Structure 1
């Protein structure tokens, strides 16, 4: 797949990052401001301040539902140490499917989150910085105008990436979760406005970069926000849930590359790999977590029975019961079943006994590619490319 080099920004002087007037201050020690949002799950994690001699890289992903920032420094081959992080649900794509444009309230929520990101970036010098926007800004008639407003009000220059680049970055971000005993996998990223799917064939000579082994990919023009708005996300019956699944399945049936892993799909060395709020939520519910814990979720294996059970369980809950679950919460209660429907359609298209959960994705992919491109690990006598763990 083609790269997204045009999105990369080199060391940004502090005076180019101007916080929005009146924005809430970033909390000390790498914490995000406290809040009830499930999207703010980093807010209880403290990160170490960067060392004077470290090279810093920043990756920001403004999606249809979330705004996420990650600042990191390279360590060993294909690895990095997180210096700071931020994540917030902003629902930028709210109402987009019906109006065709970003709403004022949604843009204000995104601007408030981006102002915090700008504050976290201010005063630091970066060897690489990649700030991207995805489906909401791609699809909205006023997406480009909104990003110009972002530049004027926060100083952040975001670039809208295409769907192919988005799929490639998702694969790159999850490479360390793919073992050497894997022959093939379907990696999927269920977003707010689109869902990226990549088929990875590892039966031939492996490239050091997992994304080089992609044999087919597609981007579905549906995500948790758009599906929930179309079918209703608050009150979901088994019948409306099945209608959601069928709508996504119809899109998948038109994917010409869907059978490119047919030679390994029935093998024990094939599995699904999901990176999205949907699969991490399912994992949290499965584990019975009272508070979301990334360390327990990222890399977790779920078998077919686990996933079936979790989907049935969440489908049996009403809106208030979903809202009361600590791994779902109020801000995901009307979206989680839409995500489950997309997941179920993917599972029917590529049946697998195993699903691995990834609490990582575009930001990690951007960081890995920037560091590899700069050869930061080579300078330490390491191979520059991120290795498959």
Structure 2
């Protein structure tokens, strides 16, 4: 299957860049996805019906730390995030980006001081942020993941376990047509919010079980409306997940000593592996999770809630395998901007 973009490694910048080439190769775009846990950016040049990534950035900032309890973005979280966004602004300036879009998700949807935060960001970085709805977030994720849908699939269950929420979409895949969203639900639990709410539990196993039960209770009505469980064993069904949780499980499954996106993006993970790896993570001590090469210190305390959310989804819909996507909102943003500039060529994206 054709992937609409390729990555290339870039040596540390020294000196000045040459003038961007004329034609579509010189059109440079940037997309920032500011989530509850991560600040991520892609810079890309339009190429054919898609794009080629020329630079990227990702940093765990935990912007949504404490928002579920206080309803406000905390000063320390704001400072960490602005520091990350300064790096993004520098890269955007270096690459002379032609068009960009910077979006924020669940933490800023919840925070009563999001507008003040946006003013600080613009004053200190020059970047303008906007809050997107859960529905638009799911749509952008779907657009970004489109190349990973199997040609034989006619329905897909797509989920994104974020820091502050989890979006789940039931999608129709008609041959030759763009994916059509039948329904999207947004659960008010992501890895950060679940970790904060259930941190009082006496043991990791107790927190895991409590999160699974809470998430499962919120999936019941969605299942009754669509009866997804009836088709999960069909060859025309595909389950696809995008999040740090599922990509981490992919890296562990492959035994990577260091995370490698090229090996994980598009990986098919058997249900048995999801159960096994989640159990191994649950049995690890906090130090063991922090020292694992595919988890690390910044994500160590978030893996148990992440695995619990994934476990609830997998128990409700025990599909034989899960397609892993290390892509989503940023790719969807880039494709949408390129589409607006060059609408006649977008029909060729697959």
State the Cα distance separating 1:373 from its structure 2 match: 2.3
SS across alignment from 2:163: coil
Residues of 2 paired with 1:85 and 1:195: CA distance? 24
In the alignment, is the contact (CA less than 8 A) between 2:152 and 2:235 conserved in 1? no
In the alignment, is the contact (CA less than 8 A) between 2:165 and 2:186 conserved in 1? yes
Residues of 2 paired with 1:193 and 1:233: CA distance? 18
SS across alignment from 2:81: helix
Which residue is equivalent to 1:288?
255
Residues of 2 paired with 1:181 and 1:269: CA distance? 6
State the Cα distance separating 1:166 from its structure 2 match: 0.3
Of 131, 156, 172, 1:185 maps to: 156
- My pick for the range that moved more, 238-247 or 251-260, is 251-260
Q: Taking structure 1 as reference, are residues 386 and 231 closer, same or farther at Cα in structure 2, changes over 3 Å only?
A: farther
SS across alignment from 1:129: strand
Of 67, 76, 79, 2:48 maps to: 76
Residues of 1 paired with 2:224 and 2:18: CA distance? 45
| 1:309-367 alpha-carbon deviations (Å, 9 max, x no partner) | 11111111111111110110000000011011111111122220010111111000111
SS across alignment from 1:384: helix
State the Cα distance separating 1:81 from its structure 2 match: 0.5
In the alignment, is the contact (CA less than 8 A) between 1:93 and 1:136 conserved in 2? yes
In the alignment, is the contact (CA less than 8 A) between 1:61 and 1:68 conserved in 2? yes
Which residue is equivalent to 1:110?
81
1 or 2, which has the higher helix percentage?
2
> What does 1:262-273 correspond to in 2, within 5 Å?
264-273=231-240
Residues of 2 paired with 1:235 and 1:286: CA distance? 29
Residues of 1 paired with 2:181 and 2:12: CA distance? 36
CA root-mean-square deviation: 2.3
| 1:198 to 2:169 alignment | yes
SS across alignment from 1:323: helix
Which residue is equivalent to 1:385?
347
Which residue is equivalent to 2:5?
none
Which residue is equivalent to 1:330?
297
Which residue is equivalent to 2:36?
64
Q: Taking structure 1 as reference, are residues 113 and 267 closer, same or farther at Cα in structure 2, changes over 3 Å only?
A: same
In the alignment, is the contact (CA less than 8 A) between 1:30 and 1:83 conserved in 2? no
TM-score using structure 1 length: 0.81
State the Cα distance separating 1:264 from its structure 2 match: 3.4
Residues of 1 paired with 2:268 and 2:203: CA distance? 27
Flag structure 2 segments of 5+ consecutive residues without an equivalent: 1-8
In the alignment, is the contact (CA less than 8 A) between 1:234 and 1:333 conserved in 2? no
Q: Taking structure 1 as reference, are residues 233 and 200 closer, same or farther at Cα in structure 2, changes over 3 Å only?
A: farther
| 1:238 to 2:205 alignment | yes
> What does 1:209-224 correspond to in 2, within 5 Å?
209-210=178-179, 213-224=180-191
State the Cα distance separating 1:162 from its structure 2 match: 0.8
| 1:253 to 2:253 alignment | no
TM-score using structure 2 length: 0.90
Residues of 1 paired with 2:346 and 2:207: CA distance? 48
Residues of 2 paired with 1:233 and 1:290: CA distance? 33
- My pick for the range that moved more, 61-70 or 346-355, is 346-355
Give aligned pairs, total.
Answer: 336
In the alignment, is the contact (CA less than 8 A) between 1:199 and 1:260 conserved in 2? no
Q: Taking structure 1 as reference, are residues 127 and 264 closer, same or farther at Cα in structure 2, changes over 3 Å only?
A: farther
Residues of 1 paired with 2:18 and 2:260: CA distance? 22
State the Cα distance separating 1:258 from its structure 2 match: 5.0
Which residue is equivalent to 1:137?
108
Of 332, 356, 361, 2:328 maps to: 361
